[in-house]
Structure 1
């Protein structure tokens, strides 16, 4: 694919992108808020020296919080511009930062929109978290003399194959980066194979996320309300997983005092998941009802925002959502950091290195499918010594991998002087 074809593809897809936003807004109205920003039209902002950080959704936004703090030490007086692609990511940014940062939608990868973005905000440099490579955006950054770093970068084998299918686009995007700081050596090797110039390994900054005391206290309060129940939390579930979990839970015949807590990743699915549990005959309650847990309740739906860490803190065992079907898993590091044994399913490509390392450390185990995962969870509920040993191993694993955020911030500082390079077109 040539650059003109890429441009043409975006021009043809742009109207469909708006239709897709409109369709998604039926469940999440935030998709249509400030629609002009998707095309580079932004409200007036005060003049300031800015650092731009792009965090596509919730997990990256939480990781951005610790990076913001680390960069603030090295670049005092700079204002942070935080961009997102999803309403949940933007809402998390509001929750974490309030008015401490400026926030905007990242524009579509159309030349006029990306050029407007840089002309409007004029960041001193940019940091893109994980794997968001937009060729035109990066070209516009280079043209505007804005070094952009791909930080906390990960690249699964699947993604590497996809990028390799479009070598010209990939070379174009990678050539306009100021540098790549990879999570692991495997990630760095995959970037190198695609032609990236000398990626470095700084580690995964998600290990440096501190669990807020408020979340630990809230989890303790949850636990007190649950009494002596044994608690399995299935966190950040995706569409299709909840039905599998509920069916597997019923088939495995859990102990009478076991409570299954399902926390859907997307709030627009809370009602749907509650209906799934009720339709299967489970006595079901919802967190939002804020009621005492009834003795007969077997399933609790975690239909609240911003409380995932509290749910994990209240758990005896955590099953990782997004790993039971082919979604690549959600972040198991948070549960490990709370000292909880973790069960992951077969799909973990978003956290492949962390999953493998947690399993090797004895803090997590892998199941072949949802049925096996729920069976493993119940086995752990029935085996307190093994459960506690896994929890201790999970905590030790999480603590032993801290320190990446300082390495990353230092690397960014060092790379700034060397990052200005000719535009690759």
Structure 2
């Protein structure tokens, strides 16, 4: 009965969701493309079994990159399908992997859409990142005997409370041919609490710690620093959101008063906000340049607007300090391990509930510092700008935490290989 109600509600909500997607397409044409895939009408068809990985958006794609590369290495023959829910996720897939994988949008969790999708991509195993549990999709995978691995899985206390309200629906989903690789023991216990069989839940760690920084990323960052930022104190505000740019710029004004050569590289999180942030910067009376226009930072430039995609890691490599945003507004924070992989000192706000364990480890090790306001951000930046030894100490502590926690990809791959071997024997 609950499944029927859930599905009926989805049929009501699907046209609304599609309309919202089309509306977003007014500002971002990418949202108008390939909308048929939302209903399972994928242009990608394969006659041979595939390996399928789902990563909902940019952050999950970046986190899954090391795992996808390992899958490509271990399974070079079957096509590798990567699905996302967002166009920015699709762009990141293309930037990271090009033609080595095929991208498809994940359909809405409607029975017909799910069947059409699976008919077209023919997965022999499904690897779902983090907390992607879809009852109709999982049920259809179970019916077709497609094993599912939930990789780097996490479940918050808030999600547990939500799942309890519809426990029978998610208990059924979690009792398919599903293996869960949880990030922490607490995550594993929560999955068991909401109905996953304990024998199928393992603690594998967080694959975000297995981040790989390509040599060309470091080299390009160093080249940019030499060409445009040389001799200046450069800080990167990565993945900022609405309302956060005001705080960041207020801090930068205070920093400039103490260090006139300071340069801010501002990286908004969402491409559909690039135009608005560009217009807003134009009203602030501060000299800025835009990377999308190919403009170079000059001596009088105070802000570089990175209104481009896929450059954040390179920009972290070019800077002295990384402020990881989404943390001064109620977003939950973004990936703290990207600057850690480059041994950059990390500043972040108090709202890091998307990855509280990572934030806690970095704070306790001295690899990251918390700032709660524009004044605190400015004061901490001023302190670090005058103290290169402290910057190096923070950066090395952050890198140490990352190195200490590597290995999740290998543990997840063991789960995948066991599940995939059983699938081939059927």
- Identify whether the pair has TM-score above 0.5, normalized to the shorter chain: yes
- Partner SS, residue 372 of structure 2: coil
Alpha carbons 2:149, 2:415 under 8 Å: kept: no
1:343: Cα distance to partner?
Answer: 1.0
1:275 and 1:248 map into 2 onto residues whose CA distance is 19
Comparing 160-169 with 384-393, greater Cα deviation is found at 160-169
Comparing 245-254 with 383-392, greater Cα deviation is found at 245-254
TM-score, normalised by the number of residues in structure 2: 0.93
- Structure-1 residue corresponding to 2:82: 82
1:417: Cα distance to partner?
Answer: 6.0
2:88 and 2:272 map into 1 onto residues whose CA distance is 11
1:175 and 1:356 map into 2 onto residues whose CA distance is 32
1:153 and 1:27 map into 2 onto residues whose CA distance is 33
1:331 and 1:321 map into 2 onto residues whose CA distance is 9
Q: Do structure 1's residue 401 and structure 2's residue 400 form an aligned pair?
A: no
Comparing 331-340 with 222-231, greater Cα deviation is found at 222-231
- Structure-1 residue corresponding to 2:279: 275
Alpha carbons 1:319, 1:377 under 8 Å: kept: no
- Partner SS, residue 295 of structure 2: coil
1:194 and 1:96 map into 2 onto residues whose CA distance is 35
Q: 2:210 aligns with which of 208, 224, 229?
A: 208
2:304 and 2:91 map into 1 onto residues whose CA distance is 24
Deviations 1:92-121 (A, max 9, x none): 111122222222111101111111112222
- 5 Å matches for 1:170-189? 170-176=170-176, 178-189=178-189
Q: Provide closer, same or farther for how the CA distance between residues 318 and 145 of structure 1 changes in structure 2, counting only shifts above 3 A.
A: same
- Partner SS, residue 339 of structure 1: coil
TM-score, normalised by the number of residues in structure 1: 0.93
Unpaired segments ≥5 residues, structure 2: none
Alpha carbons 2:167, 2:195 under 8 Å: kept: no
Q: Do structure 1's residue 220 and structure 2's residue 236 form an aligned pair?
A: no
1:37: Cα distance to partner?
Answer: 1.1
- Structure-2 residue corresponding to 1:193: 193
1:251: Cα distance to partner?
Answer: 4.4
1:379: Cα distance to partner?
Answer: 2.4
2:109 and 2:374 map into 1 onto residues whose CA distance is 37
- Structure-1 residue corresponding to 2:241: 238
- Structure-1 residue corresponding to 2:72: 72
Alpha carbons 1:232, 1:259 under 8 Å: kept: yes
1:25: Cα distance to partner?
Answer: 0.9
Q: Provide closer, same or farther for how the CA distance between residues 317 and 18 of structure 1 changes in structure 2, counting only shifts above 3 A.
A: same
Q: Provide closer, same or farther for how the CA distance between residues 191 and 12 of structure 1 changes in structure 2, counting only shifts above 3 A.
A: same
Q: Provide closer, same or farther for how the CA distance between residues 39 and 282 of structure 1 changes in structure 2, counting only shifts above 3 A.
A: same
Comparing 337-346 with 376-385, greater Cα deviation is found at 376-385
Q: Do structure 1's residue 316 and structure 2's residue 320 form an aligned pair?
A: yes
Q: Provide closer, same or farther for how the CA distance between residues 370 and 404 of structure 1 changes in structure 2, counting only shifts above 3 A.
A: farther
Alpha carbons 1:345, 1:370 under 8 Å: kept: no
Q: Do structure 1's residue 307 and structure 2's residue 311 form an aligned pair?
A: yes
2:62 and 2:213 map into 1 onto residues whose CA distance is 11
1:173 and 1:131 map into 2 onto residues whose CA distance is 12
- Partner SS, residue 318 of structure 1: strand
Alpha carbons 1:150, 1:181 under 8 Å: kept: yes
- Structure-2 residue corresponding to 1:383: 387
- Structure-2 residue corresponding to 1:423: none
Q: Provide closer, same or farther for how the CA distance between residues 268 and 254 of structure 1 changes in structure 2, counting only shifts above 3 A.
A: farther
Q: Provide closer, same or farther for how the CA distance between residues 309 and 142 of structure 1 changes in structure 2, counting only shifts above 3 A.
A: same
- Partner SS, residue 22 of structure 1: helix
Across the aligned residues of Structure 1 and Structure 2, the Cα RMSD in angstroms comes to 2.0
Tell me the matched-pair count: 420
Q: Do structure 1's residue 24 and structure 2's residue 24 form an aligned pair?
A: yes
Deviations 1:107-155 (A, max 9, x none): 1011111111122222101000111111111111111111111101122
Unpaired segments ≥5 residues, structure 1: 421-425
1:62: Cα distance to partner?
Answer: 2.3
1:295: Cα distance to partner?
Answer: 1.7
Q: Do structure 1's residue 259 and structure 2's residue 263 form an aligned pair?
A: yes
Q: Do structure 1's residue 355 and structure 2's residue 376 form an aligned pair?
A: no
Alpha carbons 2:64, 2:208 under 8 Å: kept: no
